[in-house]
Structure 1
C-alpha cells in the first residue's frame, strides 16, 4: 500500500503560511484586561456642535444619517469610558 503523505505536504505548507500571515495582522491581544487600547475621541467646539444640531433638525424623519449619528454617540461614550473620563 502506497503512502499519501506527499499529497498532504503542499496543503500543510499552505496552511502554515496562511496562519502566519493572518496572525501578523493582529495588533493586540484579545484579553481586554491586559491593557485595552482605547480609540481617540475627537473634541468638537461649541460652534461646530451648534451647527450640527441645526443641520440634524433639517433631516427627514427616520433619516439613516440620524440613526448613524446616534450610534456614533454611543461609540463616543464607550471610548470615553474606556479612557476613564
Structure 2
C-alpha cells in the first residue's frame, strides 16, 4: 500500500469517527439564554383615572407624556413575554 493511499484511508477513518461522535452529542451547540420577564404591576381603576386626569393637565408635547407612552409599550411587551 502506498503512503498516499494510507493517508487517504486514515483521513476517511478520521472523518467517519468525527461524524459518528458528533451524532452522540446530547445538547445543542448554542448556549441557552434564560428569559426573565419583568412583572406587570396592575394599577387600580381609581389610580388610572387619577393619572389620566393629571396627564390631561400637562402641556402638549410634554416629556412626561412621551415617557408614559414608552412605559405603556414596555408593559405590553412584559405581558407578552410572560405568556
Moved over 6 A (4+): none
Residue 68 of structure 1 corresponds to which residue in structure 2?
A: 67
CA distance in 2, matches of 1:34, 1:60: 43
Summarize deviations over 1:52-71 as a string: whole Å, max 9, x none.
01110000000000000000
Larger-gyration structure (1/2): 2
Residue 46 of structure 1 corresponds to which residue in structure 2?
A: 45
- Provide structure 2 residue ranges, at least 5 long, that are not aligned to the other structure: 1-30
Supply the RMSD in Å over aligned alpha carbons: 1.5
- Provide structure 1 residue ranges, at least 5 long, that are not aligned to the other structure: 1-30
CA distance in 2, matches of 1:35, 1:82: 12
- TM-score w.r.t. the length of structure 1 is 0.58
- TM-score w.r.t. the length of structure 2 is 0.60
